[in-house]
Amino acid sequence: MSKHPNPYGNIPDAELWSEAFARKQDEKDALSQLRSEFIIPTKGDLRNRRYGPLKKSTTEAAEADEDEESIYLCGNSLGLQPRRTREYVNRYLETWASKGVFGHFKELEDGLPPWLHLDDALKEQTAKLVGALPSEVVVMETLTANLHLLMSSFYKPTADRYKIIIEGKAFPSDHYAAQSQLAHHNIPLSALVTITPPSPSSPYLSTEHILSVISQHAATTALVLLPGIQFYSGQYFDIELITRHCHSLGLVVGWDLAHAVGNVPVKLHDWNVDFAAWCNYKYMNAGPGVIGGLFVHDHHGKVEDAQPPTEDGTHANHTGDATHDNDTKLIYRPRLSGWWGSDKNSRFRMENKFVPIPGASGFQLSNPSALDMTSVLASLDVFAKTDIESLRQRSLRLTAYLEERLLRYEGGPPPYKIITPMKPSERGAQLSVLLNPGLLDHILEYIEEHGVVVDERKPDVLRIAPAPLYNSFWDLHRFIVHFHEACKKAVTLAPITRKHHIDEPVVTANVVA
């Protein structure tokens, strides 16, 4: 028995493998209804070479197949479209068409908040998702841009402390961002420390290992930047413990929550996270490349009047390395600024006096896209139908079911292994599957033909992500049926010519005639 018994572990094969079992799990779960909030593309829609939904087919059999919902398990890459998004965006378009510039301020009886206040309208709901105070979050810019903006404020290298610690398989954009921050400060690229797995056979990074690398470099490090959930392996890091460890060593730590937000409940405020950033198009479902979000802890977002020293000689503010603006006598954390980060009441006076909005909003630069924010609002209104803790409970069940089905391969050892941690607390919705070499293309071809959408990472990894808002047990059942059929076909087809990219002896392909 493993240390983390799967809740589906004791169900007999015949029952677990049945469609009826999957259907029953969906019926039992009230949150299954949230699927109807989304447009699930049909198999025909995906095959269609025109952008809209598919027109009806001629034969009945073809029609039945084409009308069946696709098996979309790729919400970690691009979330599906909520039905209400179109309605909200139409309202935005109508407001623009009928009100012009007044759309910025005019309170409408039936519309969305005026564009000028859309950022505030998003705060409350975003804050709930990431465990923050509303003042600690803002929807702005995009993920990589936000990482740069945050690093410009939080990465303050000195002669002694200048290194940036990231993980070895960091998402390329995060890697480039950290690298270019070093270059920007004229620091050699050797100052980029990467945490790599101790064993070449697995991408797993134990918390002890992460802490020990951080400790080892602490005396010369200025910033730690880590993902909440690792995009490739799906590993969910212990944000609270790692943050506490960094702070005990005097280090600032930032978190990239691209794969965590809308997926797992995080408590950024209580965990004392310094800063974080994310995008809103993966588990957040607000559309490709849509405006992102960021978090700056209350400690770091303060804007205070410069006070004369108090009687005991200390200053009344807590912002460590704050700046002092002689004009306005304000003390706040230095940052790269723009007009949208300045106080709303004086923003339009054009007096060239930057008065940062306290909290995360003070990090804004530009007038944000109202179209983008409208789309984010639609997505958040879907999340508002439940709460992230309940969603996580559903997600744990879906992922456990997927895992158990993957582990039970009919007729021998499977030609793949799961590289995502087995422990539920160490993963979100995604399971990454490392296929035996040479199988990926055959398998993808087969499952795509059958309406399955998953993410591939060449040469051998499939990432399968049941998004708890819209994926069902029935989706996972259909996925497994097609995937296992594809595996059985692929092992008879694929000559195993390449060496595995992770040098562990993998389970031998099941090439029975």
Q: Which residues share a beta bridge with 416?
A: 435
Instruction: Give whichever of 76 and 436 is closer to ligand PLP, judged by the CB atom.
Output: 76
CB of 170 to ligand PLP, least distance (A): 7
Per CB under 6 A, the segment of 16-24, 253-261, 334-342, 406-414 that binds ligand PLP is 253-261
For residues 380 and 510, what is the distance between their CA atoms, to the nearest angstrom?
45
- Residue for token digits 């919705």? 429
272 appears as a binding residue in the annotation: no
Instruction: Give whichever of 283 and 473 is closer to ligand PLP, judged by the CB atom.
Output: 283
The Cβ of residue 459 has, within 10 Å, a number of other Cβ atoms equal to 15
308 appears as a binding residue in the annotation: no
CB of 132 to ligand PLP, least distance (A): 19
Which residue type sits at 431? L
For residues 318 and 337, what is the distance between their CA atoms, to the nearest angstrom?
21
Contact with ligand PLP (CB under 6 A) among 32, 144, 233, 472: 144
Q: Phi and psi at residue 42, in whole multiples of 5°?
A: -80, 165
For residues 409 and 13, what is the distance between their CA atoms, to the nearest angstrom?
10
How would you classify the pairing of strands 275-278 and 293-296?
A: antiparallel
Q: Is 174 in the site for ligand PLP (CB under 6 A)?
A: yes
144 appears as a binding residue in the annotation: yes
Q: Are 193 and 164 in contact (CB under 8 A)?
A: yes
In sequence order, what are the residues at sequence separation of 6 or more whose Cβ sits closer than 8 angstroms to the Cβ of residue 451?
A: 42, 43, 46, 68, 69, 70, 71
367 appears as a binding residue in the annotation: yes
Peptide bond into 459 cis (omega under 30): yes
CB of 253 to ligand PLP, least distance (A): 15
Q: Is 142 in the site for ligand PLP (CB under 6 A)?
A: yes
Per CB under 6 A, the segment of 33-41, 139-147, 393-401, 505-513 that binds ligand PLP is 139-147
Contact with ligand PLP (CB under 6 A) among 122, 258, 273, 357: 258
339 appears as a binding residue in the annotation: yes
Q: Are 182 and 192 in contact (CB under 8 A)?
A: yes
Per CB under 6 A, the segment of 5-13, 140-148, 189-197, 443-451 that binds ligand PLP is 140-148
In sequence order, what are the residues at sequence separation of 6 or more whose Cβ sits closer than 8 angstroms to the Cβ of residue 195?
A: 165, 166, 167, 168, 205, 209, 210, 213, 214
Q: At what angle do helices 172-184 and 143-154 cross, to 10 degrees?
A: 40
Instruction: Give whichever of 88 and 231 is closer to ligand PLP, judged by the CB atom.
Output: 231
174 appears as a binding residue in the annotation: yes
Per CB under 6 A, the segment of 105-113, 138-146, 390-398, 472-480 that binds ligand PLP is 138-146
Q: At what angle do helices 118-130 and 370-383 cross, to 10 degrees?
A: 40
Instruction: Count Cβ atoms within 10 A of the Cβ of residue 379 and give its class: 0-12 exposed, 13-18 middle, 19 or more buried.
Output: buried
Q: Is 236 in the site for ligand PLP (CB under 6 A)?
A: no
67 appears as a binding residue in the annotation: no
Max Cα-Cα span within the chain: 87
Q: Which residues share a beta bridge with 192?
A: 164
User: Which residue in 147, 114, 131, 30 sits closest to 377, CA to CA?
Assistant: 114
CB of 173 to ligand PLP, least distance (A): 4
Site mask, ligand PLP, residues 261-300, x = CB under 6 A? ------------------x---------------------
| CA distances in angstroms from 156 to 150, 181, 268, 321, listed in the order given | 11, 10, 22, 9
Contact with ligand PLP (CB under 6 A) among 227, 262, 341, 428: 227
Q: Is 43 in the site for ligand PLP (CB under 6 A)?
A: no
Q: Give the number of residues in contact with ligand PLP, rule: CB under 6 A.
A: 12
Q: Is 37 in the site for ligand PLP (CB under 6 A)?
A: no
Q: Is 179 in the site for ligand PLP (CB under 6 A)?
A: no
Per CB under 6 A, the segment of 136-144, 181-189, 398-406, 426-434 that binds ligand PLP is 136-144
For residues 431 and 501, what is the distance between their CA atoms, to the nearest angstrom?
18
Q: Is 92 in the site for ligand PLP (CB under 6 A)?
A: no
Restricted to residues 412-441, the positions that interact with ligand PLP (CB under 6 A) are: none
Q: Which residues are annotated as a binding site for pyridoxal 5'-phosphate?
A: 143-144, 171-174, 256, 259, 281, 339, 367
Residues that bind ligand PLP (CB under 6 A): 142-144, 171, 173-174, 227, 231, 256, 258-259, 279
Q: Which residues are annotated as a binding site?
A: 143-144, 171-174, 256, 259, 281, 339, 367
